[in-house]
Amino acid sequence: MSLLHCFLKPSRMSLQRCVAGDDMTADEFKEWIRRFDADQDGRISRDELRRAMRALRVRFTRRRSRSGISYADADGDGYIDDSEIDGLVEFARTNLGLRIVAC
């Protein structure tokens, strides 16, 4: 069962178990993170990223959100857009311990 599935069917399995034990694909992570694009501008801001990670119950401070944006933000505009989202996947995999597997 994927993490995305856990968000869609929270009654079947707790979020904590999904984070702790189940893999999700990079595409599932990307689709899920896009749900936190509150202003629908096609980019993920630092605050949107922080909300998303906190939804995973990952301890995600302002410092970590800045690190995540810096890690993935290739053009330096302070946002993660579709061309940079692979960097965010890598950041989540290597720095947050999320189990994200290749598609």
Domain boundaries, the chain: 22-99
CB-based contact 72:53 (threshold 8 Å): no
DSSP state at residue 80: B
CATH architecture for the domain at 22-99 = Orthogonal Bundle (1.10)
Radius of gyration in angstroms for the set of CA atoms belonging to the chain, rounded to a whole number: 13
Q: If you search the block for the tokens 């984070």, which residue do you land on?
A: 19
Which range (6-10, 26-30, 47-51) has the least confidence?
6-10
Overall average pLDDT of the 50-78 stretch = 85
- The C-alpha atoms of residue 58 and residue 12 are separated, in whole angstroms, by 21
Model's pTM, two decimal places? 0.71
The pLDDT score that the predictor gives to residue 103 is 61
Structure token pair of residue 17: 């178990």
The pLDDT score that the predictor gives to residue 4 is 44
